[in-house]
Amino acid sequence: GSEMCIRDRDEAPGDADNSTTIDARDASAILKMCVGTMELDDTCDYNGDGFVNAIDSAAILRSVVGLKK
């Protein structure tokens, strides 16, 4: 199926799948955005640097395993 990244601007940055939980699925979706297989959504800028990129994905994964954002 197709994936979409539609959300209100109030939701947590990085929540690519709108599940209200930031997890490995969001990290995967962000990587898909980076390679162009999923539409880019600038609200997925998890680390707030102004870009949606693999650094956001890595930061999410670090957070999931309990490391600092």
Helix orientation angle between 24-35 and 54-64, rounded to the nearest 10 degrees: 170
Confidence of residue 69 (pLDDT cuts 50, 70, 90): low
| Nearest alpha-carbon partner for 32 in 58, 54, 9, 62 | 54
Amino acid identity of residue 24, one-letter, is A
Q: What does the pLDDT look like over 4-19, one tens digit per residue?
A: 454 455 679 999 999 9
pTM reported for the whole predicted model: 0.81
DSSP secondary structure code for residue 12 in this structure? P
The whole-number pLDDT of residue 4 equals: 47
DSSP secondary structure code for residue 2 in this structure? -
Q: What does the pLDDT look like over 26-49, one tens digit per residue?
A: 999 999 999 999 999 999 999 999
With pLDDT > 70 as the criterion, what percentage of the chain qualifies? Answer: 84
